[in-house]
Amino acid sequence: MRRVVITGLGIVSPIGIGLQEFWKNVKAGVCGIGTITRFDASAFPCRIAGEVKNNNGKNYCGEDFLDRRILQRTALFSQFAMIAAQEAWNDAGFGAADGQSMLPAPERCGVLLGNGIGGLEIDDESHRKLYEKGNSKIPAMTIPKMISNEAAGNVSMMLGIKGSAHALVTACASGTDAVGFALDRIRCGRADVMLTGGTESTITDYGIGGFCQLKALSTGFNDTPQKACRPFDKGRDGFVMGEGAGIVILEEQEHARRRGAKIYAELAGFGASADAYHLTAPSPGGEGGARALQLALQDAGLKPEDVDYINAHGTSTPTNDPVETKAIKNAFGDYAYKLAVSSTKSMTGHTLGAAGGIETVITALAVQDGFFPATLNLDDPDPECDLDYVPHKGRTGVIRAALSMSLGFGGHNSVVAVKKSEP
């Protein structure tokens, strides 16, 4: 089987745009959740979210990163993907001014991006114009900006990638599934390089309002937003929405070595399963999540005791966290208590379809840097959540192999395995 390595990373997130700022803030345990500024949320039960800000703390300004003509024809989820993709492409050595000889054959490169909802702010705006002013006032670019495949299409056009360009939609598992299926495309010989990950931007009145109606969002911490996302804590009361994009460049190992590429880690395995149980709730015993974990271990050729860290889905909802804990115990047995497990959503919020991409970036950096990220706000652990969740502050240590886990509405379970790359 062809082996696959990670050679480039790119990030847009509530705790930083760009790898350097982002990883510095992950290590420092910075929380990017605050009061919503994108719209007036004063009448909503949940009034907080993890919005993407420029690194100076001001509201996101696309003109700082992309040409105005691109901004006019793209939704936020596409913009985030393009910014992160360009960084990952450059990070892999493909965007350097003197790097033409290092560029892979365009037909042997592909794009596979996960997304949950698409351009929700475009949908909102166009529906308002339809109902307020009539169908003739719907903006002409509504459909091309809104539909979920447009992030992958825009990235392929921006970078000249001429192999496959696909979008994958499995709710909150979308980003992890995209990474896993991109791994398979390289393994089976359909590509040498894949740009993959996830992107999302749904912090709108429609998006927040819809999740409020599901009773899924935190409502008890509007005055203390940085305390709201508290995975595995007894006082958690729902997730906090985030946004952003996490992009990974995957490359066939020998292809990367021939060009002397920097290698972060090996992407060693992928496992996915379906609960076949409920539209929004995981199966109570964590059976589906456990199977995805076991499949990822098997695919990577890893034994449970080879794994040192799991980046958990960890949404901070009453239902998810104990079920995910059971899934880990079912997959790892007694060894589960020797694992470090953390939820970095406590810093970024839940970025939905982008979560798996962002958390794969974190997992790759954790393996390379030997750092276990923290779970913030874990003040009073739920008795049903009794693993080592790295509370409050991250720590250093050797990470031989790590897993990143995502669970999505509809019963989608997805896990990728990352391990140290051999010299």
Residues with a catalytic annotation lie at: 172, 313, 350
Q: Are 279 and 30 in contact (CB under 8 A)?
A: no
DSSP category for residue 3: -
Q: Which region, left, alpha or beta, applies to residue 8 given φ > 0 means left and ψ of -120 to 50 means alpha?
A: beta
Pairing of strands 34-35, 412-419: unpaired
DSSP category for residue 106: G
Q: Which helix (H) or strand (E) holds 266?
A: strand 265-274
Q: Which helix (H) or strand (E) holds 323?
A: helix 320-332
Helix axes 320-332, 287-300, angle to 10 degrees: 40
Distance CA 87, CA 261 (A): 15
For residue 261, how far is the Cα from the chain centroid?
Answer: 24
Q: Are 197 and 175 in contact (CB under 8 A)?
A: yes
Query: Using CB atoms within 10 A of its CB, is residue 271 exposed (0-12), middle (13-18) or buried (19+)?
Result: buried
Q: Which region, left, alpha or beta, applies to residue 276 given φ > 0 means left and ψ of -120 to 50 means alpha?
A: left
**HEC assignment per residue over 284-339:** CCCHHHHHHHHHHHHHHCCCHHHCCEEECCCCCCCCHHHHHHHHHHHHHHHHHHHC
Closest C-alpha among 335, 282, 327 to residue 306? 335
Q: Which helix (H) or strand (E) holds 272?
A: strand 265-274
Distance CA 382, CA 66 (A): 44
DSSP category for residue 303: -
The single residue listed with the structure tokens 């037909």 is 107
